[in-house]
Structure 1
Amino acid sequence: MAKKRLIFTLHYSSEYFCLSRNFRLQKAGDLNWLNKNYNFPKIAFSIDELVVLDVSRENRNRVAFHEVLRELAKEIFVPIAAGGGIRTFQDAKNLFENGADKIVVNSILHENPELIYSIAEVYGAQSILASIDFTLNDRGENEVHVENGSKKIDISLPDYIQKINKLPIGEIYLHSMRQDGTGQGYDMNAYISLKEYFQKPLIISGGAGNRFHLEEGLSLGFADAVSTANLFNFIGNGLPGAREYLLEKNINLPVFES
C-alpha cells in the first residue's frame, strides 16, 4: 500500500512568507523569521514534501524567489515543489534549476495546457503538480478560479478535474478557497462528492488548523496527501507533534530515523 504524505505549504509574496485567509495575505516574516520559528533541518523529519508558492499579486520578483528556493533546498532533504506565475517553459526551467524537484502549475492548466506537454517531455509528468482552486458559489456549486483566485472560469469543477486527468501531470493539488486559512478543517463534503473523478494522486488543501484535521483528511481512502499552510498553528513543534500523533493513529506515513 502506498504511503500517505504530510505536506507543508509556504505562501511567499514580495520577500515575505504570508498567511493566506480566503486568498487575502497577511505577512508573517522573511526567511530569517521562518528559520527561527520552524528550524527546517528538524522539520525535514516531520514532513514528506514542501510546497513553496509565489503568490505575489504584482511586481513578482523572480530572482528573489529563486534565492529563497535555493536557501530552503540547502536546509531540507524532502522534495520541494515550487510554483507561482509560471507562464513559459523558461519559468518552469528556472524553478528546477534553483532547487525545485517539482513545479506547481495553476492558471496555465486552463490558459495554455499545451505548455504542460512541453514541460513533461523534458522533466517528466511526475514532476508536475496540477493546482486547482475552487469555491462554493451562491447556487451551491463548486466553481474553479485561476489567477490567484481572482478569475472564475466557465467550467464545472468535475469537468475541470476530468480535463486535468488527461494532461501529463503527476498529482492534483485541490485547494478550497472557502476554507483557505480558516483553520476550521478541510472541505470534506466537497472532496467526498468528487471522489469518483480522481484518476491522479490527490493532495487536499485548505483549512487544516490542527492535527485532528490532518488525520481526518488522511483518513479519506482516495486522498494520497494532505497539506497545511497554517504558519501560526503549526509553529515550533507543531509539525513534529502532528506527525507523531498521526503515526500513533496508525496513519500510513513513512517513518524517518532522525
Structure 2
Amino acid sequence: MLKKRIIFTLLFDNGQFMLSRNFRLQKVGDLSWLQRNYNFADVAFFIDELIVLDVSRNERDPDAFCAALERISAGCFAPIAAGGGIKSVDYAKRLLRSGADKVVLNSALADDPSLVQAIAQEFGQQCVVGAVDVKHEGEGNYVAYSHNGSERIDVTVEQLLSRHAEGFVGELYLNSINRDGTGQGYDFATLDLLPDGWSQPVIMAGGVGNATHLAAGLADERVDAVATAHLFNFVGDGLRKARHALLDSGVELAQWPDLGAVDLTRHQQAGA
C-alpha cells in the first residue's frame, strides 16, 4: 500500500513569498525571511514533498525564480516540484536542473496540450504534475481557470482532465479557488469532477487551516496527498506537530527519525 503524502506549497512572486486568499496575493517575505522560518533541510523531515510555484502577476523573472529554487533545494531531501510560466521544454529542463524533481503545468493544460505531451515524452509522465484551479460558481457549477485564476477555461473540468488522463499527466494538483487561503477546509465536491476511471494520484489543495483539515483530506480514498500553502499556520515547528498528530491518529504516512523542533538557527547552511 502506498503511503499518503503531506505537501507544502510555496508561492513566489518576483522575489517575494506570498500568502494567497481566493488568489489575491499578500507579500510575506523574501528568501531570507523564508529560510529563517522554514529551513527545508529540517522541514523536509515533516513533509513528503515541496511544491514551489511562480505566481508572479507581472512579467516573470525566470532567473530569479531558478536562483530561489536552487537555494531552497540545497540540503532538502524531499522531492520538489516547480512550475509557473512554463512555455517550453527548455524551461522545464532548466527548472529540473535548478533542483526540481518534477514540473507543474497549469495554463498549458488548456492552452498548449502539445507542450504537456512534449514534456511528458522528454522527461517521463511521472515528472509532470497537472494543476487545475477550480472555482465554484453557483450550485453544482464548477469552472476551471488558468493564468493565475484570471482566465476561464471554456471546457468542463472533466473534459480538461480527460485530455491528459493517458500518457501526459503523472498526478493532479486539484485546487479550490473559493477555499484558497480561507482555512475553512477542503472542498470535497471538487473530487466529483474527476473523469470516470481517473487513475493518476490526486493532490488536494485549497482551504487548510490546521492538521484536522489535512486528516480529513487524507481520509478520502480518492486523495493521495494533501497540500497547504499557508505559511503562517505551520510556521516554526507547526509541520512537525501536524505530522505527529496525523501519525498518532493512524494515518499511513512515511516515518523518519524525529529531529525534534525545527532548528531555525541552521538557515545559514542553506546560504541565507
Deviation string 1:47-96 (CA, Å, 9 cap, x unpaired) is 00000000001121110110011001113100000000011111111101
Is contact 1:120-1:168 (8 Å) kept? yes
Partner of 1:29: 29
When normalised by structure 1's length, the TM-score is 0.96
Cα distance in 2 for partners of 1:64, 1:27 equals 16
Cα deviation, residue 41, structure 1: 1.8
CA contact (8 A) 1:11 1:17 kept: yes
Which moves more between the two structures, 101-110 or 39-48? 39-48
- Deviations 1:1-20 (CA, angstroms, capped at 9, x unpaired): 11100000000001000001
SS at match of 2:221: coil
Cα distance 1:163–1:154, how it changes in 2: closer, same or farther (>3 A)? same
Residue 238 of structure 2 corresponds to residue 238 of structure 1: yes
SS in 2 for 1:94: helix
Q: CA deviation at 1:161?
A: 2.1
Structure 2 unmatched ranges of 5 or more: 259-272
For residue 134 of structure 2, give the secondary structure of its aligned residue in structure 1: strand
- Give the match for residue 82 of structure 2: 82
Tell me what 1:100 maps to.
100
* In 1, Cα distance between equivalents of 2:19 and 2:190: 23
SS at 1:233's partner residue? coil
- Conservation of the 8 A alpha-carbon contact between 1:173 and 1:205: yes
Give the secondary-structure state (helix, strand or coil) at the position aligned to 2:208: coil
User: Partner letter of residue 64 of structure 1?
Assistant: A
Q: Which residue of 2 aligns with 1:181?
A: 181
Where in structure 2 are the equivalents of 1:202-221 lying within 5 Å? 202-221=202-221
Show the counterpart of 1:170. Answer: 170
Match of 2:43 in 1: 43
What's the counterpart of residue 118 of structure 2? Answer: 118
Aligned-pair CA distance for 1:159: 2.1
* Overall identity of the aligned pairs, in %: 45
Runs of 4+ in 1 over 3 A off after TM superposition: 192-197
- Aligned counterpart, 2:72: 72
Q: Would you say how many aligned residue pairs link Structure 1 and Structure 2?
A: 258
Distance in 2 between residues matched to 1:100 and 1:192, nearest whole Å: 30
On the 8 A contact 1:81/1:102 being kept in 2, the answer is: yes
Give 5+ residue unaligned stretches, structure 1: none
After TM superposition, the structure 1 = structure 2 runs for residues 2-13 of structure 1, keeping only pairs within 5 Å, are: 2-13=2-13
Q: Any conservation in 1 of the 2:158–2:195 contact (CA below 8 Å)? A: no
1:18 touches 1:27 (CA, 8 Å); kept in 2?
yes
User: 1:192 Cα shift?
Assistant: 4.6
User: What is the TM-score when the length of structure 2 is the normalising length?
Assistant: 0.91
Give the alignment's Cα RMSD to 1 decimal. Answer: 1.4
Kept in 2: contact 1:184–1:209 (CA 8 A): yes
User: How far 1:194 moved relative to its partner?
Assistant: 4.0
Instruction: State the secondary structure of the residue aligned to 1:19.
Output: strand
